[in-house]
């Protein structure tokens, strides 16, 4: 199978939102009048971002999902994407499954694959995504205000627990591993939430590196501090949970969750609760923004807890 056969067979699909798609030297797209383009890219390298042997359907899904998550975090409508693929060999059944996972999400969000590049080498792929957002409507990291609430969609920690299990340093019961795996392999980009937060949230970020680290980016770029109240944070629920330190650390510092963390004025509490019901998607109010710098995690007695002592290390 030559490179052009491979592209035609596995990646050339209808592109109804595109002026000129795959097959020329560059694609042509026409943003809707007056819209800004939101552009993001994310790369996944075998052994670094995913375990060797991960099923190809999940890989196709995830490389698009993590990019869609960036659009969600900006409040942008995703429209087009490109795909750069580096493959050790052209394995037909691998490609068919990768393509199926990729396009299942692409169709769901009505976005077109408009081009890319295909080369031979160690397994890696990269998506660049383009979306649209009206001027001044994007959800930036820098907009949080003193006194804003901090909100989080869903529950963080499941994906990191699965990383622990696959790395071999954590042993989960079979039913718990089955529960955690989809959070790591097939994250759900929170597009509908991101779009609905335009005009409601003051700042937003998607949680890819861990809740504390990513909320830290909002704090830093807004020139403020953030606190998380542990008694308000929902943790992963498992049948046979590992130590509470490990579960807590996974939720706070684990990463790979792709939930949205956002800030909003306390006046917006009712609107955000109504939105959560309408989507439907649980959101939790986990803390607030204050003067100062950094992220403090407070226990039920308002005492600061140290994350160094939770004993969790993503790279262990």
Residues 139 and 71: their CA atoms lie apart, in Å, by 10
85 binds, among ligand ADP, Mg ion, none (CB under 5 to 8 A by kind): ligand ADP
- 89: contact with ligand ADP by CB under 6 A: no
Residue showing tokens 């009048």: 33
Contact present, 213 and 207 (Cβ < 8 Å): no
What residue number has its CB nearest to ligand ADP? Answer: 115
Residues at the contact surface with Mg ion, assessed by CB under 5 A: 117
Q: Which is nearer to Mg ion, 24 or 267 (CB)?
A: 24
How far is it, in rounded angstroms, from Cα 258 to Cα 68?
10
Under rule CB under 6 A, residue 101 binds ligand ADP: no
Strands 112-120 and 77-87: parallel
- Per-residue DSSP letter, 29: -
Give the torsion through C-alpha atoms of 191, 257, 37, 83, to 10 deg. Answer: -110
CA distances from 309 to 208, 246, 256, 299 (A): 22, 10, 21, 14
Residue nearest to Mg ion (CB): 117
Count of positions on this chain that bind ligand ADP (CB under 6 A) = 13
Applying CB under 6 A, among 11, 61, 81, 258 the residue interacting with ligand ADP is 11
> Could you tell me the smallest distance in angstroms from the CB atom of residue 21 to Mg ion?
15
> Is position 117 an interface residue for ligand ADP (rule: CB under 6 A)?
yes
Q: Is 299 left (phi over 0), alpha (psi -120 to 50) or beta?
A: beta
Site for ligand ADP, residues 22 to 81, rule: CB under 6 A: 22-25
For Mg ion, which is the closer residue by CB, 6 or 283? Answer: 6
Rounded-to-integer distance, Cα 292 and Cα 289, Å: 9
**C-alpha span between 131 and 151 (Å, rounded):** 24
Binding segment toward ligand ADP, per CB under 6 A, in 44-52, 110-118, 237-245, 307-315: 110-118
- Supply the DSSP symbol for 32: P
Query: What is the token pair recorded at 184?
Result: 């790591």
Q: How far is the CB of 6 from ligand ADP (least distance, A)?
A: 8
Comparing CB distances to ligand ADP, the nearer of 92 and 273 is: 92
**91 touches ligand ADP by CB under 6 A:** no
Please, what is the minimum distance in Å from the beta carbon of residue 102 to ligand ADP?
9
Instruction: Check residue 115 for interaction with ligand ADP (CB under 6 A).
Output: yes
Specify the residue, 4 or 51, whose C-beta has the smaller distance to ligand ADP.
4
Residues that bind ligand ADP (CB under 6 A): 7, 11, 22-25, 83, 85, 113, 115-118
């Amino acid at each position: 199978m030559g490179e052009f056969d491979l592209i035609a067979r596995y990646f050339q699909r209808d592109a109804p939102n595109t002026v000129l798609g795959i097959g020329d030297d560059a694609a042509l797209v026409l943003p809707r009048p007056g819209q800004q383009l939101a552009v993001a890219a994310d790369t996944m390298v075998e052994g670094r971002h995913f375990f060797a042997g991960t099923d190809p359907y999940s890989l196709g899904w995830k490389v698009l999902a993590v990019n869609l998550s960036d659009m969600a975090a900006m409040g942008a409508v995703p429209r087009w994407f490109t795909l750069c693929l580096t493959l050790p060999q052209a394995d037909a059944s691998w490609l068919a499954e990768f393509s199926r996972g990729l396009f299942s999400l692409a169709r769901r969000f009505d976005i077109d694959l408009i081009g890319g590049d295909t080369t031979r080498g160690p397994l890696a792929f990269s998506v660049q995504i383009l979306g649209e957002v009206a001027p001044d409507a994007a959800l930036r990291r820098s907009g949080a205000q003193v006194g804003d609430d901090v909100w989080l969609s869903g529950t963080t920690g499941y994906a990191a627990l699965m990383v622990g299990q696959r790395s071999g340093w954590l042993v989960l019961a079979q039913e718990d591993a089955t529960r955690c795996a989809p959070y790591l392999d097939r994250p759900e980009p929170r597009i509908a939430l991101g779009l609905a937060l335009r005009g409601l949230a003051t700042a937003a970020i998607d949680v890819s590196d861990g809740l504390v680290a990513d909320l830290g980016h909002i704090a830093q770029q807004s020139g403020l501090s953030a606190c998380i109240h542990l008694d308000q944070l929902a943790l992963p629920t498992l049948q046979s949970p590992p130590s509470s330190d490990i579960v807590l650390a996974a939720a706070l510092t684990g990463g790979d969750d792709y939930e949205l963390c956002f800030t909003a004025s306390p006046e917006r509490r009712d609107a955000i609760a109504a939105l959560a019901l309408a989507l439907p998607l649980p959101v939790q109010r986990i803390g607030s923004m204050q003067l100062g710098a950094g992220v403090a995690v407070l226990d039920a007695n308002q005492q600061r807890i140290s994350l160094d002592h939770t004993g969790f290390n993503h790279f262990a």
